[in-house]
Amino acid sequence: MRVVFCDDDSRITAQLTAYISEYFRSIGGIQPEMAAYTSGDELLQQEQRVDLAFLDVEMPGQNGISVGAALKARSPHVKIFMVTSYPDYLDDAMRFQVFRYLSKPIEKDRLLRNLKDALYQYNMETREFSVLTAEGIVVRRAEEIICVEATQRKSLLHTTTGDLLSTDGIEHWRQMLTLPCFYASHRSFIVNMRFVSAIEKDVVILKCGEQQIRAFLTRRRYTHFKDTYLMYLESTR
């Protein structure tokens, strides 16, 4: 994992680096590669992958808003934190799918809570799953799975590259595909929030290009699903 900081205040960069290093030590994880930049132009000149970015709004050259938009265009899965003393920029930051907005001075507990959420969502979006079929094992990324549909004792995975018949039942996939990206809308369906295009009282409509799938939605889950989907949208916009 690669984490970048872009802030012309070296004290903020040092503080974030220390907190994030401490978090990964506390969970026994591998320390991420971390790099600091003092301007947006300097950051965008680099071609290495970026997984998490902490951006100041006001800095020399391009501001954090334009830098964040450029990073999102390069890598849709990057999780961006806006770190600033200027709350007036909040609306602009939300337009390009900022993950969280952090105020200066940095509150350690709030940072670590949001870091945990960002890492979980990033891992769910980029994780690869082995799908056991009658022909063998096929690997698909989470972002490629539109939904899973129960079919007798097996599961039909509707993916962006075609359907796969998994020999594992729906319960297996309920345990593998969880929130915030996936939701069991019905005992026979698990849907990927990324592909939701409409919600009706008893149906979730999923769309990927020309492909449209109607997944059952249990009526008693309608309100919870709608609220959960809105929370998902808030975290990705």
Residue 213 has pLDDT above 90, yes or no: yes
Query: 2-125 adopts what CATH topology?
Result: Rossmann fold (3.40.50)
| pLDDT (average), residues 120-144 | 91
CATH 3.40.50.2300 positions along the chain are 2-125
The model's confidence at residue 104, banded by pLDDT at 50, 70 and 90, is confident
Say what the pLDDT of residue 20 is: 97
Q: Which CATH architecture has domain 128-236?
A: Beta Barrel (2.40)
Q: Do the beta carbons of residue 191 and residue 206 sit within 8 Å?
A: yes
The H-or-E segment that residue 50 falls in is: none
Residue 92 has pLDDT above 70, yes or no: no
CATH 2.40.50.1020 positions along the chain are 128-236
